[in-house]
Amino acid sequence: MRYSWPMLDQTNPLGPAASTVRHVGRHNRRVILHALRVHGNLSRAELARFTGLTPQAVANIVDTLMTAGLVREAGRRKAQRGQPPIAIEIANDGGYAVGVLIDATSFHAVAAGIGGELIEMREGPVPDAIEADWLDFVAGIHTEFGVRFGADRCLGIGLVTPGPFDIDWPGVPTPGAIPQLQVRGIADQLAARTGTEVLLENDAYAAALGEKLYGQATEFSDFFYIYVGEGVGGGIVIRGEPYRGTRGNAGEFGHLIVDPNGPQCYCGNRGCLGEYLSLRSMRDFLRDAEAAGEDRDRAMDRWVARASDALSVGIAGIENLFDPEIVVIGGAAPVPLLERLAGELGELRASVRQDVGRQRLRVSALGERSAALGASALPILAAINV
């Protein structure tokens, strides 16, 4: 089986800009780690064959990853003839990373190994948003995992929460978000408190990363992740890498305007997609319908039809902008609800991706785990960004 993470074009006629060189290096290290995760252990020659990288490049990357303690030599294999090859494997005892997803109602925390294997998962309600000391709360999770798995083996904390960051909307705070965490500075404060690296991203970005590494999108290099939760967010993956935007706020899909005369959104505009597709919009819709004496199942049918229609508009917009291989829908919403929304879409609206016979939308099977797992991948990826 040839490993399917596509190679970047390394023959740029304009000459490699420094950032491109760094990007290629990072990408290739990730490719090697991913190949080891998929295949268990591989010799350097097999790594070259599976990834398409040159033997020299593989040797250099393996050296770098071994120095960082992320991979190790697993011993020699038996060979028919000649020198038996040395197998390389992920150093599962090389450390773990903490991933924490927090929104206004609940938290999910995972400890995951370098290969992405889930070591421990915790979830529960969050403390009162007004009174909580969030630094204490996240530091407590870090300490608890540290006691069990060794604080000195922790590679860092990936903290994810609804975005956007460092933005003041004119209206009420983002639904589902905790304003104190929507500030980039919180990561530095938490790093100082815990003595470990802290990376802060929005939940949809992390979910897209989790889906790319462990979920429905491992074979795709260009895709869009729609995050349905209290609000609606989005994660963009281009050439295998999540795209952050200038301030880490790219992909705010929930504020795509689907009807300029639609309901008022807290961002100041009207008819944003989040007003149709979010869990909050569903609850409000059902509450109003119930107050008007409508049967709940009937009201739910009407909400799903309206939400699917708005989603179809959104998907056409994504496809026309990015021409992705696939759109994945997931997030905090229950998977059966997402499947129902996807099922109601029927024939999608026309776009540049209307090629017949190819799937355009896929439902995430990881659910909320995609964001927490993506969060735990942030420090691991930072460790290989050497």
Question: What's the closest the beta carbon of residue 95 comes to Zn ion, in angstroms?
Answer: 40
**Closer CB to Zn ion, 52 or 262, in the complex:** 262
CA–CA gap between residue 207 and residue 323 (Å, rounded): 20
**What is the nearest approach in angstroms of Zn ion to the Cβ of residue 268?**
7
- Residue with smaller CB distance to Zn ion, 114 or 265: 265
Contact (Cβ atoms closer than 8 angstroms) between residue 279 and residue 229: yes
How far, in Å, CA of 123 to CA of 9, rounded?
Answer: 41
Quick one: which segment of 40-48, 223-231, 249-257, 315-323 binds Zn ion (CB under 5 A)? 249-257
Select 229 or 367, whichever has its Cβ closest to Zn ion. Answer: 229
Binding segment for Zn ion (CB under 5 A), chosen from 10-18, 70-78, 234-242, 251-259, is: 251-259
Judged by beta carbon, residue 260 or residue 293, the one nearer Zn ion is 260
How many residues touch Zn ion under the rule CB under 5 A: the total is 5
Contacts of 305 (CB under 8 A, 6+ apart): 344
Alpha-carbon separation of residue 4 from 12, 65, 90, 202, 267 (angstroms): 22, 21, 19, 27, 40
Name the minimum Å distance from CB 314 to Zn ion: 13
Could you give the CA distance from residue 353 to residue 4 in angstroms, rounded to a whole number? Answer: 22
Min separation Cβ 360 and Zn ion, Å: 25
Helix (H) or strand (E) holding 328: strand 326-330
Provide the mask over 253-282, with x wherever binding to Zn ion is found by CB under 5 A and - wherever it is not.
--x---------x-x-x--x----------
Cβ-in-10-Å burial (0-12, 13-18, 19+) of 13 comes to exposed
CA distances for 92 relative to 58, 72, 114, angstroms: 20, 9, 6
Local structure of 176: helix, strand or coil? coil
Positive or negative CA dihedral for 366, 369, 370, 373? negative
> Shortest distance, CB of residue 267 to Zn ion, whole angstroms?
3
- In the complex, the smallest distance separating the C-beta of residue 281 from Zn ion, rounded to whole angstroms, is 12
Contact (CB, 8 A) for 210 and 227: no
Q: Residue 343 carries which DSSP code?
A: H
Placement of tokens 């190679």 in the chain:
7
Shortest distance, position 252 Cβ to Zn ion, whole Å: 8
- Residue 124 or 260: the one with the smaller Cβ distance to Zn ion is 260
Q: Closest CB to Zn ion among 189 and 269?
A: 269
> Which segment (96-104, 178-186, 219-227, 252-260) binds Zn ion by CB under 5 A?
252-260
Torsion of CA 255, 209, 323, 257, to 10 degrees: 0
CB burial readout 211-228, b (16+ within 10 A) else e: bbbbbbbeebbbbbbbbb
Min dist. Cβ of residue 269 to Zn ion (A): 5
Our CB check for Zn ion shows the closer of 146 and 234 to be: 234
CB of 260 to Zn ion, least distance (A): 11
Length of the chain: 386
Alpha carbon distances (Å) from 280 to 214, 219, 276, 287: 28, 32, 9, 11
Q: How far is the CB of 305 from Zn ion (least distance, A)?
A: 22
For Zn ion, give the closer residue by CB, 71 or 256: 256
Question: Closest CB to Zn ion among 153 and 280?
Answer: 280
By CB under 5 A, residue 212 contacts Zn ion: no
| Residue 187: partners with Cβ closer than 8 Å, 6 or more residues away | 159, 198, 199, 200
Question: Rule CB under 5 A: which residues touch Zn ion?
Answer: 255, 265, 267, 269, 272
